[in-house]
Chain A
Amino acid sequence: MFGSITLRLAAVYTAVFALAVAAIGAGAIAATHAALVQQLDRRLSTEADAIAADYAEGGRQGLLDELEERRGAPGELSFGVQTVAGAPVAGPLARLNAPAGLSAATLVAGGRRHELRLLSRDLPGGYRLLAGGDTAILKELTRDMTAGFALAFVAVIVVGAGGGLAFSRQVGERLSAISGTAEAIIDGDLSRRIPVVRAGDDLARLALTINRMLDRIQALMESFRQVSSDVAHDLRTPLSRLRQKLEQVTLETADKERRSHLESALEDVDALLSLFAAVLRIAQMEAGAGRSVFRRADLAELAHTVFEAYRPSAEELGKTLALEAAAPGLVEGDPELLVQLMANLIENALAHTPPGARIVLAVQTGARAVSLSVRDDGPGVPSGERGRIFDRFYRLERSRSSPGSGLGLALVAAIGQLHRAQVQAIDARPGLEVRVTLPAAV
């Protein structure tokens, strides 16, 4: 769930909002409570002042009349008079015991408990006036407010989570459009672009920027490819002429020693020409050329042909070549290129293993993919270099002196890419395994 940045953002924002609601609620309730208590205290004090004034005017009887008058409905203020010593004189609160000033008290009347805010004031003549206000309303108000804020808290979480999910899905769809485009480009389709929906927002602007970057990369790749194939192509013409002239001179030369020098020069020219041809083929395949002739091919059958072609040579080199291909492995592809891929892998294994090595060509057929692998039990490739063996002209330090163009595995990678296959170099413990996994034909 937290693998999605939008979902994570939505969750964090929801939590922050919910906490803010809780804090605002708590603050509001506390402030309201304090204000109401203050208001009650003021009323108590005002009433007590009024009663004290009446007492000063009307004496004890005036005081009692005043109390009788104020015996009101529940929720209203109530009063009581007692002697300074605590003996009750009159009023519902006459029996309460209270310190001077403001305090809290509990009155049990008519079988019900009342929480009171109490003001006690001594009057001249040895009397003490008690004024109390019921705090039940205050409590009710606090409870109602708490319930209200709790509801708001829950609502914030629900709306936040729902909104976050919707937001995340919408952003997620647009992000997956971006990653889908990137995948297609990794797959070799440099012409793919991110679809721009809802022009003007920041994701759309990002998409436009990435698309412009892709335009630039495609232009660069095309010019690079153009330049390298132009170079390879333009060099082929003079090289071909050179080859012709060398061949002509060779055919005309009777002197044996000279002739053998010329023949070896001819071989070098041929090696150069085949190098350029390989560079051109790789460039063509990287551009995706050749998929138009794809047809259904059985990798197991092709592997059998390649295995059978190479077995005698492997034996002459003192190595064992084995085939593991039990079931047909149907793929869509170019059989000629697939054969060349297998041949290059076998030749690579033959070139980099000591005599006595065992090389296995295997085809494994799964429901969705067919994998083709060549593994050997030779010295293998150090893990740090394993990823680079498919690079053009890349050669291990120890192989620099051995023959080969350094393009065999690059061609394997290019053929694999053309077939939308995954090409991996794996540690075969000991030795190297190169595995090419192609999508199975449907």
Chain B
Amino acid sequence: MKLLLVEDDLQAADYLGRALSDAGHQVRHAPDGREGLLLAGGGQAYDVIVLDRMLPGVDGVTLLRTLRSAGVATPVILLTAVDSVEDRVEGLEAGADDYLAKPFAVAELLARLNALARRPPPREAKTELKVGDLHMDLLKRSVTRAGARVDLQPREFRLLEYLMRNAGRVVTRAMLLEAVWNFRFDPQTNIIESHMSRLRGKVDRGHGAEMIRTVRYAGYILSEPS
């Protein structure tokens, strides 16, 4: 996808740019807020803007507000050196779609970029999710696999729903913690692993092909069994 990276730290920008290109994205770099604003508001349409919060001249939050008030709806992921609730609230209120504290693993940024770029428009409210022979009815809150009922706890249902909405893409532990539990800290205990192993037991057991897989050092992926 086409990405705009607004980052003043050239060393970090170089590294990130290369890692994102390696992952198959087209990256345009803007070294400061003014250029970032010009590029983002210009004719070229980007799929996602990766925006550093602290920039010389026009800072990230101001840039974001300006873009949003000009009607630019491109998804924005805000990168920040300080992870405080106040800063995050300010960033999200300014119109950021996601928020990532530095330093982060490239895999984390890639997963979040993927989730953002393919986020369906909000008015397109789905009532049913379907991946292979796995069906989820969002109204009846029921799940079937190959026609057989799968009984889930409410939190397992939300976990599976998030995986299905991001089917075919890696989701990280941090993304799951945020989306399903609203936890924004790094637990020392493997709470995601424990829940995931229960969910896999219910979704995959007895169905030869696995749908939920662990991606080493990144997270999980749900996809049609190949």
A30 at the interface (CB under 8 A from B): no
- Expressed in whole angstroms, the minimum distance between the Cβ of A393 and any Cβ of chain B is 16
> Quick check: A274 and B191 within 8 Å, CB to CB?
no
CA distance A335 to B18 in the complex (A): 38
CA distance A404 to B85 in the complex (A): 24
The interface-forming segment of B44-52, B64-72, B181-189 is B181-189
CA distance A313 to B15 in the complex (A): 37
- Expressed in whole angstroms, the minimum distance between the Cβ of B16 and any Cβ of chain A is 8
Contact A277/B83 with A308-B155, A316-B194 known, Cβ cut-off 8 Å: yes
CA distance A243 to B197 in the complex (A): 30
> Quick check: B194 and A312 within 8 Å, CB to CB?
yes
B127 at the interface (CB under 8 A from A): no
> Quick check: A293 and B187 within 8 Å, CB to CB?
no
Partner of B191, one of A263, A273, A280, A310: A310
A240 at the interface (CB under 8 A from B): yes
> Quick check: A236 and B105 within 8 Å, CB to CB?
no
- Expressed in whole angstroms, the minimum distance between the Cβ of A261 and any Cβ of chain B is 14
CA distance A290 to B12 in the complex (A): 29
CA distance A239 to B103 in the complex (A): 9
Give a binary string over B1-35; 1 marks a CB under 8 Å from any A CB, 0 the rest. Answer: 00000000001100100110010000000000000
CA distance A205 to B83 in the complex (A): 44
B73 at the interface (CB under 8 A from A): no
B124 at the interface (CB under 8 A from A): no
- Chain B residues closer than 8 Å to A316, beta-carbon distance: 194
Partner of A244, one of B15, B186, B194: B15
CA distance A316 to B86 in the complex (A): 36
A401 at the interface (CB under 8 A from B): no
Contact A347/B188 with A241-B11, A305-B182, A308-B155 known, Cβ cut-off 8 Å: yes
- Expressed in whole angstroms, the minimum distance between the Cβ of B109 and any Cβ of chain A is 11
Interface size of B as a range: 35 or more
Q: Which of A283-322 contact B (CB under 8 A)?
A: 284, 289-290, 292-293, 305, 308-310, 312-313, 315-316
B84 at the interface (CB under 8 A from A): yes
- Chain B residues closer than 8 Å to A245, beta-carbon distance: 15
- Chain B residues closer than 8 Å to A350, beta-carbon distance: 189
A247 at the interface (CB under 8 A from B): yes
Partner of B190, one of A239, A290, A313: A313
Contact A336/B85 with A248-B15, A273-B103, A274-B186 known, Cβ cut-off 8 Å: yes
> Quick check: B190 and A243 within 8 Å, CB to CB?
no
- Chain B residues closer than 8 Å to A346, beta-carbon distance: 189
Partner of A339, one of B12, B102, B183: B183
B38 at the interface (CB under 8 A from A): no
A43 at the interface (CB under 8 A from B): no
B138 at the interface (CB under 8 A from A): no
CA distance A290 to B85 in the complex (A): 7
- Chain A residues closer than 8 Å to B193, beta-carbon distance: 313
B85, B105, B182, B195 pick with most chain A CB within 10 angstroms: B85
> Quick check: A347 and B12 within 8 Å, CB to CB?
no
> Quick check: B194 and A404 within 8 Å, CB to CB?
no
- Chain B residues closer than 8 Å to A336, beta-carbon distance: 85, 182-185
In chain B, what residue has the closest Cβ to A337? Answer: B85
- Chain A residues closer than 8 Å to B195, beta-carbon distance: 309, 312
CA distance A198 to B140 in the complex (A): 74
- Expressed in whole angstroms, the minimum distance between the Cβ of B95 and any Cβ of chain A is 18
A220 at the interface (CB under 8 A from B): no
A135 at the interface (CB under 8 A from B): no
Q: Which of A246-296 contact B (CB under 8 A)?
A: 247-248, 251, 263, 273-274, 277, 280-281, 284, 289-290, 292-293
A160 at the interface (CB under 8 A from B): no
> Quick check: A293 and B85 within 8 Å, CB to CB?
yes
- Expressed in whole angstroms, the minimum distance between the Cβ of B221 and any Cβ of chain A is 18
CA distance A346 to B85 in the complex (A): 22
- Expressed in whole angstroms, the minimum distance between the Cβ of A346 and any Cβ of chain B is 8
CA distance A337 to B103 in the complex (A): 21
> Quick check: A313 and B181 within 8 Å, CB to CB?
no
> Quick check: A244 and B12 within 8 Å, CB to CB?
yes
> Quick check: B11 and A313 within 8 Å, CB to CB?
no
CA distance A352 to B212 in the complex (A): 33
CA distance A277 to B81 in the complex (A): 10
Contact A240/B187 with A293-B89, A313-B194 known, Cβ cut-off 8 Å: no
- Chain A residues closer than 8 Å to B11, beta-carbon distance: 241
Give a binary string over A403-419; 1 marks a CB under 8 Å from any B CB, 0 the rest. Answer: 11000100000000000
Q: Which of B154-191 contact A (CB under 8 A)?
A: 155, 181-191
CA distance A233 to B101 in the complex (A): 13
B215 at the interface (CB under 8 A from A): no
- Expressed in whole angstroms, the minimum distance between the Cβ of A115 and any Cβ of chain B is 96
- Chain A residues closer than 8 Å to B182, beta-carbon distance: 305, 335-336, 339
B18, B82, B102, B185 pick with most chain A CB within 10 angstroms: B185
- Expressed in whole angstroms, the minimum distance between the Cβ of A103 and any Cβ of chain B is 102
In chain B, what residue has the closest Cβ to A308? Answer: B155
> Quick check: B181 and A281 within 8 Å, CB to CB?
no
Q: Which of B97-136 contact A (CB under 8 A)?
A: 101-103, 105-106
List 19 A-B residue pairs with CB atoms under 8 Å apart, sorted by A's residue number.
A240-B12, A243-B103, A244-B15, A245-B15, A247-B106, A251-B22, A281-B83, A284-B84, A289-B86, A290-B86, A292-B86, A293-B86, A305-B182, A309-B155, A310-B191, A312-B198, A339-B185, A343-B187, A350-B189
* B contact residues vs A (CB 8 Å cutoff): 11-12, 15, 18-19, 22, 81-86, 89, 101-103, 105-106, 155, 181-191, 193-195, 197-198, 217
Known A236-B81, A340-B185; further 18 A-B contacts with Cβ < 8 A? A241-B11, A244-B103, A263-B217, A277-B101, A280-B82, A281-B83, A293-B85, A308-B155, A309-B195, A312-B194, A312-B197, A313-B193, A334-B85, A335-B182, A339-B185, A343-B183, A343-B185, A350-B189
